[in-house]
Structure 1
Amino acid sequence: MTEQTLTQPGAEPQPGAEPQPGPQPQAAAPAQVQAPDLVPEKPKKSRRPLLLGIARWTAAVLVLGGVGTGTAMGITAMERTEVPGLATESDGRWEYPRLALPALPADALRPYTEGNDGEVHHADLRQLLLPAPKGATVDPKLKGGWVGLDTYLAHFHADDRGAVKEALAESALRHVAARGWTMPDGTSTRVYLMRFTSVAFAEAFKDDVLDTGTRGSRLPAGVDGETLDSSLKDARLPFLSLYSFDERKPYGPEQTRWAYIQAGDTLGLVVQSRKGAALTVPFQQTVVLQAQLLS
């Protein structure tokens, strides 16, 4: 903002200004002798006190106006949580970095654009992983790079790992990327992205791990039962499919929630566990943000 220069009372005349002639002294008038029978005129009241009062009130108004303007500008510049009485409690969401889709190789198309009938993700899969939120401690084994098949299989019950591995061998899995972190409240999050050679193979593997027919779906390690989670049913994610689950009660010292994201040739898995209970808001937020990166 450009500062305005105020002219101060009693400022020196500007260079080059013509000097103004001052008032010329007048010759004293000859003394008048009043006749004794004349009534003397009433002296005129001086306007100086009135002018001084007006000046004082004007200064007071300007000062109050300046204070009010300064206060308003100060509140406008402050964050909402910094203004006393205006702070709002957090709704439980985590603070993630600003998200953006990675650049594509030359002439490559996004998975759901015209001309990409195979719904192929041409971006580096590691760049499509959701970053850890503010305050998280990143898992040194899941730092956002490629991981081996055994790392992914550790997500499942030991009795199911052989069957899942066999299903992956038949599904032409290309590679797996993963990231994990733990928040200060103890919530543990793991995100896996698996890319297959085609949409058909990705869907076939998804159907295998989600089969709830005679044997039930492949559960995360430490989980004995599941219930469908309907909290994400209203998520607006065109072209994608979400399959969300809660650990069925009674559960042990911690609860686990997980969701599969079917996105063309890529299948995502988000898993959250927390002592006591896994919170709904950060789980929903994490799943939706990861799904948006795959859209």
Structure 2
Amino acid sequence: MTEQITSSPKPTPTPDVEAGTEAGLVTEAGPGPESASASEPVIAAAAAIPPMPTQPPVVQAGRSSRRVLRAVGRWAAAVVVFAGLGTGAAFGISGMDRTDVPGLATRDDGRWEYPRLALPALPAGAPRPYTDANKAEIHHADLRELLLPAPAGATADKKLTGGWVGVERYLSEYAPEERAELRTTLRDYAVRHIAARGWTMPDGTTSRVYLLRFQSVAFALTYEATEIGDGLTAGVPLAAAPETELDEGWTEDDIVPNTLSKVYAEPKPYGPTQVRQAYVLAGDTLALIVHEKKGGAAAVPFNQTVMLQNQLLG
């Protein structure tokens, strides 16, 4: 909840307080008789200062007056020039974007530029998951519309375009010797649909996101517990990552409540590429997120991808 912060009203200055007194200046009125001795130095100093003239001084015509006028004119022109330069500089800085001002640019931390995300429309009368009207935590939106879109600069995977894919395409992510058992498990736990999207970034990072929707939350939970588990590894290994370990740099501060995210990374020494993978469990839907890159997959964009996909499912 956003709280509205209001400032307390400023006290109205008392009318009988003179401006000179408020500014801490000495007023022309002298002290009373009882304090005359303590204020004599101040009064003497004030008496030594001639009163401020009410009219500008009259300059007598002559050679010296012309020199004075020329000097005054040069100083006035200089003041105008410097004032114009200062105003122009201030206007220039205020009109620039933050990244255009030296020293104020935001440092690039490696995150990708994803398009603005929005939750898809629901069928009439269908509630969103994690609401009081949807205790079963069922996603009623089109599963394809819950897939994270590709970021700016990405080249789309021609086989994973954001549409439906078969079980065999999903199983191709896993080690060949594990696929037969996984196929049976998916059939037993009645996976309904699988949607997927893939892309490649200019730095060579390939990304793949799969969403699996089960018949119920119970089936999704059982599949996650059976095939992924709560161990230090990601359970059934991927074909490109025989070994995995928990990503110690991952925090769940930004994930949607009541959802589950498990993040893993392939430890060194890895092969030609390093793989980062994550599972996001949200109600009846399970997501598999994979980043793979030659020489090492960066953690920042991977964690960003996991968090955004988690928010779409939540």
TM-score (norm 1): 0.78
Matches within 5 A, 1:70-219: 70-211=88-229, 217-219=235-237
Contact 2:234 2:245 in 1 (8 A): no
Deviation at 1:288, TM superposition (A): 0.6
Q: Which runs of 5+ in 2 are unaligned?
A: 1-58
Q: 1:107 to 1:216 in 2, by over 3 A?
A: closer
C-alpha distance in 2 between matches for 1:116 and 1:287: 24
Select 1:270's aligned residue among 286, 289, 307: 289
Which amino acid in 1 is paired with 2:302? F
SS in 2 for 1:176: strand
1:44 equivalent in structure 2: 60
Q: Is the 8 A contact 2:234 2:244 kept in 1?
A: no
1:95 CA displacement: 1.1
Distance 1:216 1:284, change over 3 A: closer
| Distance in 2 of aligned mates of 1:74 and 1:85 | 15
Take 2:119 and 2:76, find their aligned partners in 1: how far apart are those partners?
58
Q: Out of 222-231 and 194-203, give the one that drifted further.
A: 222-231
User: How many angstroms does 1:141 deviate by?
Assistant: 0.9
How much has 1:103 moved relative to structure 2? 2.0
Residues in 2 aligned to 1:272 and 1:57: alpha-carbon distance in whole angstroms: 67
Cα deviation, residue 245, structure 1? 1.1
Q: Does 1:245 align with 2:264?
A: yes
Q: Please report how far the alpha carbon of residue 49 of structure 1 lies from its aligned counterpart in structure 2 after TM superposition.
A: 5.9
Tell me which protein shows more helix as a share of its residues: 2
Q: Does the 8 A contact of 2:112 with 2:301 survive in 1?
A: yes
* Distance (whole Å) between structure 2 residues aligned to residue 123 and residue 49 of structure 1: 85
Q: CA deviation at 1:87?
A: 3.5
Q: Where does 1:55-74 land on structure 2 (aligned, <5 Å)?
A: 56-74=74-92
Measured after TM superposition, the shift of residue 289 of structure 1 is 0.9
Q: 1:285 aligns with which of 290, 296, 304?
A: 304
Range 221-230 or range 278-287, more displaced: 221-230
Equivalent residue of 2:170, what SS? helix
Q: Structure 2 CA distance, aligned partners of 1:142 and 1:73?
A: 49
Q: Is the 8 A contact 1:224 1:248 kept in 2?
A: no
Q: Any stretches of 5+ residues in structure 1 without a counterpart?
A: 1-42
**What's the offset of the Cα at 1:256?**
0.4
Match of 2:54 in 1: none
Q: Distance in 2 between matches of 1:240 and 1:234?
A: 10
- How many residues are paired up? 252
Distance of 1:64 and 1:183 partners within structure 2: 50
Structure 1 residues 53 and 183, CA, compared in 2 at 3 Å: closer, same or farther? same
Aligned-pair CA distance for 1:277: 1.1
Partner SS, residue 107 of structure 1: coil
Cα distance between partner residues in 1 of 2:77 and 2:130: 67
TM-aligned CA deviation for residue 152 of structure 1: 0.9
Distance in 2 between the 1:260 and 1:236 partners? 15
SS of equivalent to 1:159: helix
Amino acid at match of 1:128: L
CA contact (8 A) 1:255 1:277 kept: yes
Change (3 A) 1:143 1:62: farther
* SS of alignment partner, residue 277 of structure 1: coil
Amino acid at match of 1:289: L
**What amino acid sits opposite 2:212 in the alignment?**
M
1:77-113 Cα shifts (integer Å, max 9, x gaps): 3233322344443111111111121222222211011
Report percent identity of matched pairs.
Answer: 54
